[in-house]
């Protein structure tokens, strides 16, 4: 009898646990609009802007100097900006690289630099009590950097190794060719140097780059976290007082190239084809930017997107396809990328074009679009949840000339978007006749498949 009762009790527990497991989680409500943290501003006579962002309760601060320069200013010496910012970390007139790193480590942080196409930065996270000291270190790096030839040669050797690895892989090869086809000779179309041009960069080139482009009137210092604003302000005024104003940023006219175009890059006997299909679009300042981003997420920009579900889950042609909206100052581009099996190259492109056609023809359903809205608003919330994330958002606004209304209204605009608006983005901007297709793979296997595709007839 006890055994029977024990079995019945066990069955009841199992049944209850199965019922609980089948229950769906409660539907979350629409998140509220983002509240931009309170900020305080100051400017120095040399044109450097400063933004203070009191944020959080953890006794740490992020100090970051962002300058409107980067690969766009490389000229004919591609990666010059990368080498220049890395050289800033190699010591100053007063401290060696090791001493500099140890000094920052004693403040609870480490020196970081990052180079982008249009903006680059150097900075660090430190304990709050060292916020002013961090300002001094950054100023010392900028104003008194030591440009030793042996440091540059070591960095160039590392970069040469990185370049060889990149140029041996189909992804970087496809990216380089695709951006070149879209942006031509503009710096946006130049991703990688040749080995000889990289080897030819000298310390005088680095020094000239820093003097010309790392200037206060193109720079913005952000301090985010917990800090004593009065003390940090005094440290900033003293540390950067001698920084001399430079020339205003040069504007690089962008003339994008339109398709239809096909570029095939041969990798004989390659088992996979690397695809880049896309076209020039616009930047974040455009009125349709947010709807365009939503369309991209639904079409190919998320793991659950249509193209991903189609050619990865249903067809098994590829492992990780993904579409992207790429931002540049005053312009941008959209592209779908994928590494597909060589024998499925044509079939994969057929499905990609078909998904584009179907979304243009019929707006998405409410359930599908609601999923995209929840996903994008969730990502947005996460992107504003740290000291450095807040700096990223505010510097994004500054770079693209946006007001803080972009952040304040983001969630509301996402949830206000209609299925018809998302579908319209495809019709307005993803014009097949204007696209560029780059395929890196075995041409003998791939080319007959592409020429058999009706969607690519006009490309040849």
Residuewise pLDDT in 10s, the chain (460 residues): 444 444 344 444 444 444 433 344 445 566 667 787 899 999 999 999 999 999 999 999 999 999 999 999 999 999 999 999 999 999 999 999 999 999 999 999 999 999 999 999 999 999 999 999 999 999 999 999 999 999 999 999 999 999 999 999 999 999 999 999 999 999 999 999 999 999 999 999 999 999 999 999 999 999 999 999 999 999 999 999 999 999 888 877 888 999 999 999 999 999 999 999 999 999 999 999 999 999 999 999 999 999 999 999 999 999 889 999 999 999 999 999 999 999 999 999 999 999 999 999 999 999 999 999 999 999 998 888 899 999 999 999 999 999 999 999 999 999 999 999 999 999 999 999 999 999 999 999 999 999 999 989 888 8
Each residue's pLDDT tens digit, 39-70:
999 999 999 999 999 999 999 999 999 999 99
Q: Rounded distance, CA 362 to CA 358, Å?
A: 6
Signed CA dihedral, 94, 122, 246, 133: sign only = negative
Q: What is the pLDDT of residues 258-282, one digit of tens each?
A: 999 999 999 999 999 999 999 999 9
Long-range pairs of 90-99 with CB within 8 A, sequence gap ≥ 24: 90/145, 90/146, 90/147, 90/148, 90/151, 90/155, 91/145, 91/146, 91/148, 91/151, 92/140, 92/141, 92/144, 92/145, 92/146, 93/144, 93/146, 94/140, 94/144, 95/140, 97/151
Q: How far apart are the first and last CA of the chain?
A: 82
Domains and CATH numbers, the chain: 40-239 (3.30.830.10), 261-459 (3.30.830.10)
Tens digit of each residue's pLDDT (9 = 90 or more) over 290-331:
999 999 999 999 999 999 999 999 999 998 899 999 999 999
* 94 within 8 A of 140, measured Cβ to Cβ: yes
């Amino acid at each position: 009898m006890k055994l029977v009762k024990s079995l019945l009790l066990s069955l009841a527990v199992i049944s209850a646990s199965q019922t609980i497991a089948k229950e769906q989680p409660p539907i979350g409500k629409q998140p509220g609009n983002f509240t931009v943290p309170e900020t305080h501003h100051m400017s120095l006579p040399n044109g450097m802007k400063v933004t203070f962002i009191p944020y959080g309760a953890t006794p740490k601060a992020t100090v970051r100097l962002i300058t409107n320069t980067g690969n766009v200013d490389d000229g004919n010496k591609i990666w010059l900006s990368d080498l220049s910012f890395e050289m800033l970390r190699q010591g100053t007139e007063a401290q060696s690289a090791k001493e500099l790193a140890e000094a920052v480590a004693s403040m609870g942080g480490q020196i970081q630099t990052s180079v982008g196409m249009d903006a680059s930065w150097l900075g660090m996270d430190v304990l709050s009590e060292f916020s002013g000291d961090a300002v001094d270190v950054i100023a010392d790096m900028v104003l008194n950097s030591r440009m030793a030839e042996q440091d540059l040669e070591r960095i160039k050797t590392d970069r040469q190794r990185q370049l060889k690895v990149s140029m041996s892989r189909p992804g970087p090869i496809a990216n380089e060719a695709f951006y070149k086809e879209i942006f031509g000779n503009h710096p946006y179309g130049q991703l990688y140097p040749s080995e000889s041009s990289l080897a030819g960069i000298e310390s005088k080139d680095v020094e000239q780059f820093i003097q010309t482009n790392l200037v206060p009137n193109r720079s913005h210092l952000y301090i985010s976290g917990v800090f004593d604003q009065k003390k940090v302000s005094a440290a900033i005024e003293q540390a950067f007082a001698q920084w001399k104003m430079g020339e205003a940023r040069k504007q690089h006219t962008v003339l994008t190239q339109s398709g239809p175009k096909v570029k095939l890059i041969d990798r004989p006997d390659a088992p996979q084809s690397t695809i880049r299909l896309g076209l020039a679009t616009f930047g974040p300042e455009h009125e349709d930017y947010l709807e365009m981003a939503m369309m991209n997420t639904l079409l190919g920009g998320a793991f659950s997107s249509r193209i991903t579900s189609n050619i990865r889950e249903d067809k098994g042609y590829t492992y990780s396809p993904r579409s992207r909206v790429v931002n540049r100052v005053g312009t941008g581009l959209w592209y779908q990328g994928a590494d597909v099996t060589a024998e499925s190259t044509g079939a994969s492109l057929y499905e990609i074009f078909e998904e584009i056609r179907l979304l243009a023809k019929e707006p998405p359903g409410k359930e599908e679009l609601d999923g995209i809205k929840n996903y994008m608003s969730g990502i947005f919330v996460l992107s504003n949840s740290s000291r450095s994330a807040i700096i990223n958002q505010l510097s994004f606004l500054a770079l693209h000339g946006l007001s803080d209304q972009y952040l304040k209204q983001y969630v509301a605009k996402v949830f206000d978007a209609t299925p018809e608006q998302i579908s319209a983005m495809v019709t307005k901007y993803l014009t097949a006749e204007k696209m560029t297709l780059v395929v890196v793979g075995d041409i003998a296997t791939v080319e007959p498949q592409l020429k058999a595709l009706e969607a690519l007839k006009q490309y040849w």
